[in-house]
Amino acid sequence: MLASLALAAASPAKAAPLAGLHYLVGSWNCTYRAGAVRLAYDATYAYDRDGHTLRQIASWAGGGDEELLAYDAQRDRWTAVVLDDQGTATIMRASASETNHIAYRSVYPDAGIAVTFDRISATEYTLHGTVRMGGKTITSVDTCLRAAH
C-alpha cells in the first residue's frame, strides 16, 4: 500500500505550473505601499530543490524575509511559506494552477492575510495585500519591476 502511494505521488499529473513562473528568476526592485507608508525592497528569485521550489529572498533597510513557493499537483494548489527576521512564519495557500493570477490566503498562524499575485508582464508584477490584525485591516500594494542587469 505504501509503495503504491509513493508511486502515485511520484508520477506527474500534468506539466508543473511552477515552470510558468520561470520569468521571476533573477532580481527585482519593489515598492510596498500601505496608506502613507512606502518601503523600497529588493527581491531575488531562484529555483531550489531540483526545480520543485521557487525561493524568494527579499531585503530592505533594516530587514528582510525568505519565501518558499511550491505547487502541489495532487491537491491542485500553491503553498507559500514565509520566514521573516523576527522568527515568525506564515503559511499561505492558493487553489488552482494559474500562474498569472494567484490569490493566497494564510492558513497559519491564522487566516488574517490575503495576498493576490498578478503578473503584469515579463518585467512587472504586483501584490495586493490585506492583513487583518488587532481589529484593523491594512491594505497594501507592492509593485515590482525587473532589475536592470
Domain count, the chain: 1
Q: Is residue 95 situated within a structural domain?
A: yes
Q: What is the pLDDT of residues 71-91, one digit of tens each?
A: 999 999 999 999 999 999 999
Q: Is the pLDDT of residue 5 over 80?
A: no
Q: Is residue 88 situated within a structural domain?
A: yes
The pTM for the full model equals: 0.86
Nearest to residue 101, comparing CAs of 86, 85, 117? Answer: 117
Q: Is residue 8 situated within a structural domain?
A: no
Q: Is the pLDDT of residue 23 over 70?
A: yes
Q: Is residue 3 situated within a structural domain?
A: no
Q: Is residue 32 situated within a structural domain?
A: yes
pLDDT cut 90: percent of the chain above it: 78
Averaged pLDDT for residues 27-41: 97
Q: Is residue 96 situated within a structural domain?
A: yes
Residues 117 and 101: their CA atoms lie apart, in Å, by 6
3-class DSSP state for residue 21?
helix
The whole domain housing 97 covers 17-146
Q: What is the pLDDT of residues 82-122, one digit of tens each?
A: 999 999 999 999 998 889 999 999 999 999 999 999 999 99
Q: Is residue 7 situated within a structural domain?
A: no
Q: Is residue 12 situated within a structural domain?
A: no
Q: Give me the CATH number covering residue 30.
A: 2.40.128.20
